Chains A and B, each alone.
Chain A
Amino acid sequence: GAVVSQHPSWVICKSGTSVKIECRSLDFQATTMFWYRQFPKQSLMLMATSNEGSKATYEQGVEKDKFLINHASLTLSTLTVTSAHPEDSSFYICSAPDDTEAFFGQGTRLTVV
Protein backbone atom coordinates (compact mmCIF):
# COMPACT_ATOMS: atom_id res chain seq x y z
CA GLY A 1 0.00 0.00 0.00
CA ALA A 2 0.89 3.65 -0.22
CA VAL A 3 3.47 4.87 2.25
CA VAL A 4 4.13 8.28 3.69
CA SER A 5 7.51 8.88 5.25
CA GLN A 6 8.04 11.60 7.82
CA HIS A 7 11.43 12.75 9.07
CA PRO A 8 12.79 13.21 11.65
CA SER A 9 10.89 10.99 14.06
CA TRP A 10 12.05 13.06 16.99
CA VAL A 11 13.98 16.27 17.49
CA ILE A 12 15.12 18.36 20.43
CA CYS A 13 15.93 21.98 19.77
CA LYS A 14 16.76 25.09 21.71
CA SER A 15 14.25 27.86 22.20
CA GLY A 16 14.44 30.41 19.41
CA THR A 17 15.75 28.05 16.75
CA SER A 18 13.86 26.67 13.77
CA VAL A 19 13.08 23.06 12.98
CA LYS A 20 12.12 21.55 9.64
CA ILE A 21 9.98 18.43 9.34
CA GLU A 22 9.68 16.60 6.03
CA CYS A 23 6.79 14.56 4.73
CA ARG A 24 7.19 12.44 1.62
CA SER A 25 4.76 10.27 -0.28
CA LEU A 26 6.88 7.35 -1.40
CA ASP A 27 4.89 5.66 -4.12
CA PHE A 28 2.21 8.08 -5.14
CA GLN A 29 1.86 11.75 -5.93
CA ALA A 30 0.07 13.96 -3.48
CA THR A 31 -1.09 17.37 -4.60
CA THR A 32 -2.44 17.89 -1.12
CA MET A 33 -0.92 17.00 2.23
CA PHE A 34 -2.18 17.75 5.69
CA TRP A 35 -0.31 18.66 8.86
CA TYR A 36 -1.75 17.69 12.24
CA ARG A 37 -0.63 18.33 15.77
CA GLN A 38 -1.35 16.30 18.87
CA PHE A 39 -0.94 17.50 22.40
CA PRO A 40 -0.66 14.90 25.17
CA LYS A 41 -3.90 13.05 25.78
CA GLN A 42 -5.68 15.09 23.15
CA SER A 43 -6.94 14.47 19.67
CA LEU A 44 -5.04 15.18 16.50
CA MET A 45 -5.87 18.68 15.33
CA LEU A 46 -5.56 19.79 11.74
CA MET A 47 -3.11 22.68 11.46
CA ALA A 48 -2.94 23.34 7.76
CA THR A 49 -3.44 22.00 4.27
CA SER A 50 -0.36 21.96 2.09
CA ASN A 51 -1.05 22.49 -1.60
CA GLU A 52 1.53 21.69 -4.26
CA GLY A 53 2.43 24.79 -6.20
CA SER A 54 0.36 27.19 -4.13
CA LYS A 55 0.12 28.62 -0.66
CA ALA A 56 -0.89 26.49 2.25
CA THR A 57 -4.22 27.09 3.93
CA TYR A 58 -4.16 27.33 7.69
CA GLU A 59 -6.81 26.44 10.21
CA GLN A 60 -8.11 29.09 12.51
CA GLY A 61 -5.72 29.94 15.31
CA VAL A 62 -2.62 28.56 13.58
CA GLU A 63 0.06 31.19 12.94
CA LYS A 64 1.16 30.94 9.33
CA ASP A 65 4.33 32.92 9.99
CA LYS A 66 5.35 30.54 12.72
CA PHE A 67 4.51 27.30 10.96
CA LEU A 68 5.89 27.66 7.46
CA ILE A 69 4.71 25.10 4.96
CA ASN A 70 6.28 24.43 1.60
CA HIS A 71 4.94 21.90 -0.88
CA ALA A 72 7.68 22.06 -3.45
CA SER A 73 6.90 18.89 -5.34
CA LEU A 74 4.17 16.30 -5.72
CA THR A 75 5.90 14.05 -3.22
CA LEU A 76 7.30 16.42 -0.60
CA SER A 77 5.85 18.84 1.90
CA THR A 78 7.84 20.50 4.67
CA LEU A 79 6.73 22.12 7.90
CA THR A 80 9.17 24.54 9.51
CA VAL A 81 8.54 25.59 13.08
CA THR A 82 10.22 28.98 13.29
CA SER A 83 11.55 30.53 16.49
CA ALA A 84 10.39 27.54 18.43
CA HIS A 85 9.27 27.90 22.02
CA PRO A 86 8.60 25.27 24.67
CA GLU A 87 4.86 25.54 24.05
CA ASP A 88 5.49 24.31 20.50
CA SER A 89 6.61 20.99 21.92
CA SER A 90 4.18 18.47 20.50
CA PHE A 91 3.70 15.51 18.20
CA TYR A 92 3.40 16.61 14.57
CA ILE A 93 1.97 14.27 11.96
CA CYS A 94 1.55 14.63 8.24
CA SER A 95 -0.98 12.94 6.05
CA ALA A 96 -1.28 12.47 2.32
CA PRO A 97 -4.35 11.11 0.55
CA ASP A 98 -4.28 9.08 -2.62
CA ASP A 99 -7.47 8.37 -4.56
CA THR A 100 -8.97 6.18 -1.89
CA GLU A 101 -7.67 7.00 1.56
CA ALA A 102 -5.42 9.15 3.68
CA PHE A 103 -2.04 7.79 4.79
CA PHE A 104 -0.10 9.06 7.75
CA GLY A 105 3.55 9.59 8.40
CA GLN A 106 5.19 8.15 11.48
CA GLY A 107 5.02 11.47 13.28
CA THR A 108 7.67 13.79 14.72
CA ARG A 109 8.08 14.36 18.42
CA LEU A 110 9.35 17.91 18.86
CA THR A 111 10.76 18.98 22.20
CA VAL A 112 11.84 22.59 22.62
CA VAL A 113 14.10 23.25 25.57
Chain B
Amino acid sequence: DQQVKQNSPSLSVQEGRISILNCDYTNSMFDYFLWYKKYPAEGPTFLISISSIKDKNEDGRFTVFLNKSAKHLSLHIVPSQPGDSAVYFCAAASNDYKLSFGAGTTVTVRA
Protein backbone atom coordinates (compact mmCIF):
# COMPACT_ATOMS: atom_id res chain seq x y z
CA ASP B 1 0.00 0.00 0.00
CA GLN B 2 1.67 3.16 -1.23
CA GLN B 3 1.45 5.72 1.55
CA VAL B 4 3.27 8.40 -0.41
CA LYS B 5 2.31 9.09 -3.99
CA GLN B 6 3.87 11.15 -6.70
CA ASN B 7 1.39 10.99 -9.52
CA SER B 8 3.53 12.70 -12.13
CA PRO B 9 6.36 10.41 -13.26
CA SER B 10 8.00 13.15 -15.26
CA LEU B 11 8.18 16.90 -15.66
CA SER B 12 9.82 18.93 -18.38
CA VAL B 13 10.44 22.63 -17.82
CA GLN B 14 12.38 25.35 -19.55
CA GLU B 15 15.43 26.79 -17.90
CA GLY B 16 14.53 29.81 -15.80
CA ARG B 17 10.94 28.76 -15.28
CA ILE B 18 9.36 27.30 -12.18
CA SER B 19 9.27 23.55 -11.53
CA ILE B 20 6.42 22.35 -9.34
CA LEU B 21 6.49 18.81 -8.04
CA ASN B 22 3.54 17.37 -6.16
CA CYS B 23 3.22 14.69 -3.54
CA ASP B 24 0.25 13.22 -1.67
CA TYR B 25 0.25 11.03 1.42
CA THR B 26 -2.32 8.95 3.23
CA ASN B 27 -0.87 8.33 6.70
CA SER B 28 -2.01 11.03 9.11
CA MET B 29 0.77 9.96 11.53
CA PHE B 30 3.44 11.37 9.24
CA ASP B 31 4.90 14.50 10.73
CA TYR B 32 8.13 14.95 8.84
CA PHE B 33 8.41 15.37 5.11
CA LEU B 34 11.44 15.50 2.88
CA TRP B 35 12.44 15.91 -0.71
CA TYR B 36 15.43 14.07 -2.11
CA LYS B 37 17.22 14.49 -5.39
CA LYS B 38 18.78 11.50 -7.08
CA TYR B 39 21.13 11.16 -10.01
CA PRO B 40 21.50 7.80 -11.78
CA ALA B 41 23.56 5.19 -9.91
CA GLU B 42 23.88 7.43 -6.87
CA GLY B 43 22.16 7.51 -3.52
CA PRO B 44 19.52 10.14 -2.82
CA THR B 45 20.71 13.55 -1.69
CA PHE B 46 18.71 15.46 0.84
CA LEU B 47 17.20 18.62 -0.58
CA ILE B 48 14.75 20.16 1.83
CA SER B 49 12.41 19.15 4.61
CA ILE B 50 9.41 20.40 6.48
CA SER B 51 7.84 19.37 9.75
CA SER B 52 4.11 19.20 10.28
CA ILE B 53 4.10 22.30 12.45
CA LYS B 54 4.96 24.43 9.43
CA ASP B 55 3.27 25.03 6.11
CA LYS B 56 6.23 26.43 4.23
CA ASN B 57 9.99 26.08 4.25
CA GLU B 58 12.34 27.88 1.92
CA ASP B 59 15.99 27.27 1.10
CA GLY B 60 17.40 29.28 -1.75
CA ARG B 61 15.67 28.28 -4.97
CA PHE B 62 13.75 25.49 -3.26
CA THR B 63 10.50 25.92 -1.36
CA VAL B 64 8.37 23.18 0.09
CA PHE B 65 4.71 23.76 0.91
CA LEU B 66 2.69 21.52 3.19
CA ASN B 67 -1.10 21.34 3.29
CA LYS B 68 -1.91 18.99 6.15
CA SER B 69 -5.64 19.06 5.71
CA ALA B 70 -5.25 17.93 2.12
CA LYS B 71 -2.31 15.62 2.94
CA HIS B 72 -0.42 17.25 0.15
CA LEU B 73 2.99 18.78 -0.25
CA SER B 74 4.76 20.36 -3.15
CA LEU B 75 8.27 21.40 -4.08
CA HIS B 76 8.87 24.57 -6.04
CA ILE B 77 12.17 25.18 -7.80
CA VAL B 78 12.62 28.75 -8.98
CA PRO B 79 14.35 29.39 -11.29
CA SER B 80 14.98 25.95 -12.72
CA GLN B 81 18.50 25.23 -13.89
CA PRO B 82 19.90 22.45 -16.12
CA GLY B 83 21.70 20.96 -13.10
CA ASP B 84 18.33 20.41 -11.49
CA SER B 85 17.61 17.63 -13.97
CA ALA B 86 17.30 14.53 -11.79
CA VAL B 87 14.76 12.29 -10.13
CA TYR B 88 13.05 13.87 -7.15
CA PHE B 89 11.61 11.72 -4.41
CA CYS B 90 9.10 12.84 -1.85
CA ALA B 91 9.39 11.02 1.48
CA ALA B 92 7.52 11.06 4.74
CA ALA B 93 8.10 9.70 8.21
CA SER B 94 6.72 9.71 11.68
CA ASN B 95 9.16 10.21 14.55
CA ASP B 96 11.09 7.01 13.91
CA TYR B 97 12.83 8.18 10.71
CA LYS B 98 11.56 5.18 8.74
CA LEU B 99 10.94 6.85 5.44
CA SER B 100 8.18 6.02 3.03
CA PHE B 101 9.02 7.19 -0.45
CA GLY B 102 7.01 8.22 -3.44
CA ALA B 103 7.83 6.70 -6.80
CA GLY B 104 9.74 9.74 -7.92
CA THR B 105 9.37 12.43 -10.55
CA THR B 106 11.96 12.79 -13.26
CA VAL B 107 12.63 16.44 -13.91
CA THR B 108 14.20 17.56 -17.17
CA VAL B 109 15.23 21.18 -17.45
CA ARG B 110 15.53 22.29 -21.06
CA ALA B 111 18.09 24.90 -21.99
B47 to chain A, nearest CB (A): 11
Q: Are A34 and B97 in contact (CB under 8 A)?
A: yes
In this complex, the interface size class of chain A, counting residues with CB under 8 Å from chain B, is 20 to 34
Task: Verify if B18 is at the interface (C-beta below 8 Å from A).
Answer: no
User: Are B89 and A34 closer than 8 Å at their CB atoms?
Assistant: no
Chain B residue at minimal CB-CB distance from A105: B43
A26 is an interface residue with CB less than 8 A from chain B: no
Residue with the highest number of chain A CB atoms closer than 10 Å, among B2, B4, B101, B103: B101
B59 at the interface (CB under 8 A from A): no
How big is the B interface, by class? 20 to 34
Kindly identify, within residues 58 to 110 of chain B, every residue whose CB is under 8 Å from any CB belonging to chain A. Answer: 89, 93, 97-104
B46 touches A34 (CB 8 A): no
A85 to B57, CA, bound (A): 44
Contacting pair B98 A42 (CB below 8 A): no
Chain A hits for B16, CB < 8 A: none
Instruction: Determine which of B41, B45, B104 lies in contact with A104 in the assembled complex, contact meaning CB atoms within 8 Å.
Output: B45
User: Which A residues are within 8 Å of any B CB, using their own CB?
Assistant: 6, 9-10, 32, 34, 36, 42-46, 49, 91, 93, 95, 97, 101-107, 109
**Interface residues, chain B, CB within 8 Å of chain A?**
2, 4, 34, 36, 41-46, 49, 89, 93, 97-104
15 sampled A-B residue pairs with Cβ under 8 A = A34-B99, A36-B99, A43-B89, A43-B101, A43-B102, A44-B101, A46-B100, A91-B41, A93-B43, A93-B44, A102-B46, A104-B36, A104-B43, A104-B45, A106-B42
